[in-house]
Amino acid sequence: MTTGTIDAAAAGSWRLGDLTVNRIGLGAMRLTTNADGGPSDRQRAIAVLRRAVELGVNHVDTAAFYFSSLRSANELINTALSPYPEDLVIVTKVGPGKDPSGGWLPMARPDQLRGQVEENLRQLGRDHLDVVNLRVYGPEPLTEHFGALAELRDAGLIRHLGVSAIRPQQLAEAQAVAPVVCVQNSYGLGYRAGQDELVRECAAQGIAFVPFFSLATSGREAGASGAEHDEVRAVAAAHGVTPAQVRLAWTLHQGPNVLAIPGTGNPDHVAQNVAAGALRLSPTDLARLDALHRAG
């Protein structure tokens, strides 16, 4: 991988409705907490956000329920980036919630979603949200919940809608209510290969597929385990990059509609993640990694 100017635009772009974003973005969940579970360093988290934007990131994923004992992702985003760049797209999600102590609350009722949307607006300091994903838990019909968000879109509080953590059949349920610009599901190299068909279905419909946990995979909120497969290490060594960069590049190679939103609390890792958008894997690399993915 050649070195040079690091720019998120090197990964290419995709449209979320009428909003164009670079395909390598930033997830805000890891801004609030250190690896040991303690609150993050505030200035370091702010530096991560500003560094990402300096490197061309214009897609930030967040949620009002991304908070720790002393940190709120939305507040950090507001402090670091407001007044917001004109091309910055902030994507948030509703459905789940937490009480003030951080304990998870039951899935919000449809009539409670407006309050969640307004909480994101207050924290971010905005009068509308660019994209709101309905985060789904379980196979239950989502029509009423998505319909409530569609009403908020019609009222001007939301520009575009997406869905998160869905089963494949739930995409059609949502599409029957209102246009869907993105699907955000957990997915990565060797992790949840059953999602491959949904990735292709989204591409056929012009819908962005936005995987989360693409680096942490089965580590989920706890983060990556630190262990890595020999095949990933071999490809990384051949290109002179890190295994995490190979994983991000593989993710982006899954289709032009796939957007990556790796999260980090380290400004140096932001640059590495963005640089992965310029990594071009060879057919041989992809064959090796695809075999690993299917085996996973």
**Structural domain includes residue 63:** yes
Residue 239 falls within a domain, yes or no? no
State how far the Cα of 197 lies from the Cα of 6, in Å rounded to an integer: 32
pLDDT at site 170? 97
Confidence of residue 296 (pLDDT cuts 50, 70, 90): confident
Kindly state the average pLDDT of the residues 216-237. Answer: 74
Beta strand spans in 127-267 (E): 129-135, 158-164, 182-184, 208-209
Residue 1 has pLDDT above 60, yes or no: no
Catalytic residue among 66, 84, 137, 191: 66
Q: Is residue 292 part of a domain?
A: no
- 212 by Cβ neighbours in 10 Å (0-12 / 13-18 / 19+) ranks as buried
Tell me the CATH number at 92.
3.20.20.100
Q: According to the 3-state scheme, what is the secondary structure of 72-125?
A: EHHHHHHHHHCCCCCCCEEEEEECCEECCCCCEECCCCHHHHHHHHHHHHHHHC
Model pLDDT, residue 260: 97
Contact between 173 and 147 under an 8 Å Cβ cutoff? The reply is no
Question: Is residue 23 included in any domain, yes or no?
Answer: yes
Q: Which of 13-17, 179-183, 227-231 comes out lowest in average pLDDT? A: 227-231
- At position 234, the amino acid (one-letter code) is A
* Confidence at residue 225, expressed as pLDDT on a 0 to 100 scale: 54
Please tell me the distance from the alpha carbon of residue 231 to that of residue 254, in angstroms, as a whole number. 18
pLDDT digits (tens, 9 = 90+) for 217-226: 654 554 555 6
Based on the structure, what is the number of domains in the chain? 1
Range scoring the smallest mean pLDDT among 102-106, 256-260, 272-276, 277-281: 102-106
- The residue among 22, 88, 27 whose CA lies nearest residue 261 is 27
Tokens of 184: 């955000």
Average pLDDT of span 79-88? 98
Intra-chain end-to-end CA distance of the chain, in Å: 27
Residue 251 is predicted with a pLDDT of 97
For residues 247 and 242, give the distance between their C-alpha atoms in angstroms, rounded to a whole number: 9
Per-residue pLDDT, 56: 98
Is residue 97 in some structural domain? yes
pLDDT band at 2 (very low <50, low <70, confident <90, very high): very low
- Is-catalytic flag, 187? no
Q: Choose between 220 and 42: higher pLDDT.
A: 42
The answer to whether position 190 is within a domain reads yes
* Parent domain of 211: 8-227+247-279
Q: Do the Cβ atoms of 120 and 133 come closer than 8 Å?
A: no
Q: Is there a domain that residue 288 lies in?
A: no
Mean pLDDT of the region 129-155: 96
* Residue-wise pLDDT tens digits, 186-197: 999 999 999 999
- What six digits make up the tokens of 150? 């569609």
235 lies in a domain?
no
